[in-house]
Amino acid sequence: MPPRTLIKPTAGSVAALLLVTGAGLLAACGARTSRAVGGGTDVVAAQAAFPDKHLQYPVRTTDADWQPVAAALGRTGTLAGSVVYGIPLLRTDLDVTTEGVTLKPGMLLGGYAAFAQYHDGTMLMGDLVVTEDELPRVTDALQAAGIDQTALHKHLLQQSPPIWWAHLHAMGDPLKLARGLKSALNATAIPPASPPPATEPPVDLDTAGISRALGRKGTAEGGIYRFTIARHQSVDDGTHVLPAALGLTTGINFQPLGGDKAAVDGDFVMTAPEVQHVIRALRRGGIDIVELHNHSLDDRPRLFYLHFWAAADAVTLARALRPALDATAPAPAS
């Protein structure tokens, strides 16, 4: 896919290009069956009205532009907002338990690869869910392909088997990036994606009550009721404006446990001044703190991700999560 000529963006074109909305592919790092390529507003009005001439904006693309990448990976994806091509990498092959709960793959076992084209090349960002046995081979494959590893961590306090989440980033030729990523995938047992069901079955939870408590509507996907929420803020790496669909979103996932109870997990995306407010809000609601880390090496503003876990009445958990969400400058609910 040859680079396209970057056209000087206008206020209207920037807003249309970067206000990526709609359902995600997967739900990030906590999908992400869909958080990673989730939707939401990821640029404030001031950024849209006054584009920074020193930054590159992603170029509009079509599904056809990404077919060589899909062919190289042997997996198809979904184009979000005409700028980010996201490919789900769901671990449907693993049976993972934590605190007596067997996780559905959409809770936390969804990795992803997201591609965006800029004037100076294609950006790849992603998150691979790997076992401890796979991790050394995945690391070697990524390093051999020139794909940077930007974070490595776990998302659960207790888990069997032990699972790691490896974040990655690279810039370059899209086919070369896809082939390099394929070599890392070949070091895992990540299966090909299964076709989605014709209709999603309802989630056995009070989803209306959960949505009211969080002030926005979620999405039923794979037996999970999930929320993918972008920040009301522009993010860049010093050179490129980064759409939220690259994985810069908060993910909240509810898995039914029966009797109105749910397991809830995910991660909040935060700036440094927001971190302690989120921690205090979660602990006031009896929600466990699991991990606090970065996903990128050079994002501006510096973003932190806080993973959490709890199991209790679903609507009560949603009410406890709301103050933490409000502390992170979320994009307005659509």
The tens digit of pLDDT for each residue in 154-166 reads 888 888 899 999 9
Here the tokens at position 267 are 């991660």
**Is 331 contained in some domain?**
no
Distance of alpha carbon 248 from alpha carbon 270, whole angstroms: 10
CA 287 to chain CA mean position, Å:
21
Average pLDDT over the chain reads 86
Query: Nearest Cα to 243, choosing from 97, 99, 73, 40?
Result: 40
Distance of alpha carbon 89 from alpha carbon 319, whole angstroms: 31
Task: Supply the pLDDT for residue 110.
Answer: 87
**Is 334 contained in some domain?**
no
Specify the pTM: 0.86
Task: Supply the pLDDT for residue 208.
Answer: 97
More confident residue, 323 or 37: 323
- Number of structural domains in the chain: 1
Task: Supply the pLDDT for residue 180.
Answer: 98
25 with 126: CB under 8 angstroms?
A: no
Q: Residue 168: exposed, middle, or buried by beta-carbon count in 10 A (0-12, 13-18, 19+)?
A: buried
**Is 332 contained in some domain?**
no
How confident is residue 36, by pLDDT bands cut at 50, 70 and 90?
A: very low
Domain ranges, residue 19: 11-326
Q: State the SS3 of 118-185.
A: ECCEEEEEEEEEEECCCHHHHHHHHHHCCCEEEEEECCCCCCECCEEEEEEEEEECHHHHHHHHHHHH
**Is 74 contained in some domain?**
yes
**Is 49 contained in some domain?**
yes
**Is 5 contained in some domain?**
no
Three-class secondary structure of residue 310 per DSSP: strand
Task: Supply the pLDDT for residue 2.
Answer: 46
Here the tokens at position 314 are 């679903």
Does the CA dihedral 34-35-36-42 come out positive or negative? Answer: positive
Distance of alpha carbon 320 from alpha carbon 259, whole angstroms: 19
**Is 1 contained in some domain?**
no
